[in-house]
């Protein structure tokens, strides 16, 4: 940026700072007491002297500010209604503090674990092999007609809950269709892939 550009930037910053300082100074002025606020005119002004919208808005804001200040005065010094008294200074001093001095404790301790028990299946390998041989020999026997009848009776005595298929609710089916639309292939290529 050349010298003129910097000059314009400096002038702009100076203008903004002066404007902020002026607004800040006006904001710090104490507002006059409520009694000095004028009441809005009750009678209708003459035809040629109608206040514009800005003046009407200003009067409305002054009225609202006066009401707010009156409510603050009635509320008391801390914002609570005046009918509730503040606690006395001695009462405040006698309250106990809830703060507790921190306790320093070391978390470094000796770790004591039980000795690890070594376990391998080789110790019980012979027993496992014997069980497998017994189970295989029980299955290898040929089935007779009596075995089939016994098995058929056993199946018929089981409740129907074990063989019934699970039914779906309408909401579950609705969710399934929505998820199929979300996760399935796009509609434009469904015809080509044979999906419907």
pLDDT at 29 over 80: no
Return the pLDDT at 115.
87
Distance CA 123, CA 120 (A): 6
User: Residue range 159-182: average pLDDT?
Assistant: 83
**Do the beta carbons of residue 67 and residue 39 sit within 8 Å?**
no
- What token pair was written down for 170? 């309408």
CA separation for the pair 56, 72 (Å, rounded) = 25
Q: Is the pTM of this model over 0.75?
A: no
Q: What is the pLDDT of residues 98-144, one digit of tens each?
A: 777 888 888 888 888 888 888 777 778 888 889 999 999 888 878 88
In angstroms, the CA 102 to CA 122 distance is: 55
C-beta of residue 75 within 8 angstroms of C-beta of residue 82: yes
Chain centre to alpha carbon of residue 142:
66
3-class secondary-structure state, position 76: coil
């Amino acid at each position: 940026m050349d010298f003129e550009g910097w000059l314009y930037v400096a002038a702009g910053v100076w203008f903004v700072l002066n404007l902020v300082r002026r607004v800040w100074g006006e904001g710090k002025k104490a507002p006059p007491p409520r009694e000095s606020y004028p009441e809005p005119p009750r009678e209708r002004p003459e035809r040629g002297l109608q206040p514009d919208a800005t003046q009407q808005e200003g009067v409305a804001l002054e009225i609202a500010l006066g009401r707010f200040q009156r409510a603050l005065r009635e509320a008391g010094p801390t914002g609570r209604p005046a009918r509730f008294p503040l606690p006395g200074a001695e009462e405040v001093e006698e309250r106990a503090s809830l703060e507790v001095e921190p306790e320093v404790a070391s978390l470094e301790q000796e770790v004591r674990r039980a000795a690890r028990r070594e376990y391998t299946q080789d110790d019980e390998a012979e027993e496992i092999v014997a069980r497998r041989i017994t189970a295989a020999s029980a299955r290898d026997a040929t089935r007779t007609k009596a075995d089939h009848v016994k098995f058929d009776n056993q199946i018929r005595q089981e409740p129907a809950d074990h063989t019934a298929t699970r039914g779906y609710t309408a909401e579950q089916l609705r969710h399934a269709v929505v998820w199929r639309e979300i996760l399935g292939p796009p509609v434009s290529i469904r015809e080509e892939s044979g999906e419907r």
